[in-house]
Amino acid sequence: MDWTTVFTTNSDIEAAFVQGLLQNSDIPAVVMNQSDSAYKFGDIKIMTTTEKVMDANLVIKEYLENRTQND
């Protein structure tokens, strides 16, 4: 099974939230935390299976649009 990055953030809270959104939409999602825990520097990636990338992108697009409207 191949995995593809669909979202990148530097916030572990946002990463967990996006992962939950995807999983609630029956989209497999894993968090790949590449940040340095001591300095809180680096990327946290959300990945899904290659087959679910388009579905994941739709969920993430809706999340980003709603986040922008609420800022």
The class of domain 3-70 in CATH terms is: alpha beta
Q: Is residue 42 within 8 Å of residue 35, measured between CB atoms?
A: yes
Q: What pLDDT sits at residue 49?
A: 97
Q: Is residue 5 within 8 Å of residue 46, measured between CB atoms?
A: yes
- Give the pLDDT of the chain (71 residues) as one tens digit per residue: 799 999 999 898 999 999 999 999 999 999 998 766 666 667 899 999 999 999 999 999 999 998 877 66
Residue 58: CB atoms within 10 A of its CB come to 12
The model carries a pTM of 0.86
Q: What pLDDT sits at residue 1?
A: 78
Q: What pLDDT sits at residue 34?
A: 74
Domain boundary assignment for the chain: 3-70
